[in-house]
Amino acid sequence: MLTAMTAKIFHRFTSLKRDKTVDVEIQYRQACQKWAYQTMVGGELLSIGEYHAALDHFQQSWQVAAKQLSNEHCTAEGREIFLGYFSLAILNVSYLLELQNKTDQLEKVLSDGHFRLLGLMTNHQEADHFRHEARRQAQKLLAKLSDLLNFQGRTQVADSLWEEFGRIQLKLQ
């Protein structure tokens, strides 16, 4: 049973308001750790041929990165780091889908990732440096998507995507 003094101290401690920047930093670190953990486990599973389980972990790392890109409380530097994590997670997922010959899912993953990054690079509310990094990552995913489309004999679609990407870049200059 709590004594009156212990109860008073407990109440005072639990009623303290925490600094929001501390909470944001803790959430950011937890997200980084979760992303790294999911990516490392996915890599280990991939190395022993457990493709389905590896895919699950890489998809979870993708979800963590996507959530941080949408997190308005994450710092600009943190969001920029998660741009790279987002792109890498999509490339990991796409690699496993390619190994499993799941080309429909592969195209969807690459398209979704590319268009998400296009949205970030064209958002004028974002900092210029962030938008530039989003453009770099979008270009990486577009290159991978284009390779897939060319392999499937859909060169016109690939060329069309590159043309549209070029037009968007010109508008941003």
Domain regions of the chain by residue span: 20-172
Q: Write the single-letter amino acid at 142.
A: L
What is the DSSP code (8-state) at residue 72?
Answer: T
Going by pLDDT thresholds of 50, 70 and 90, the confidence category of residue 21 is low
Residue 22 is predicted with a pLDDT of 64
| CATH architecture, domain 20-172 | Alpha Horseshoe (1.25)
Distance CA 82, CA 113 (A): 13
User: What is the average per-residue pLDDT within 120-124?
Assistant: 92
Which of the pair, 7 or 71, is modelled with greater confidence?
71
Does 6 score more than 50 pLDDT? no
Q: Which residues contact 79 (CB under 8 A, 6 or more apart)?
A: 68, 69, 71, 130
> Is the CB of residue 110 less than 8 Å from the CB of residue 144?
yes
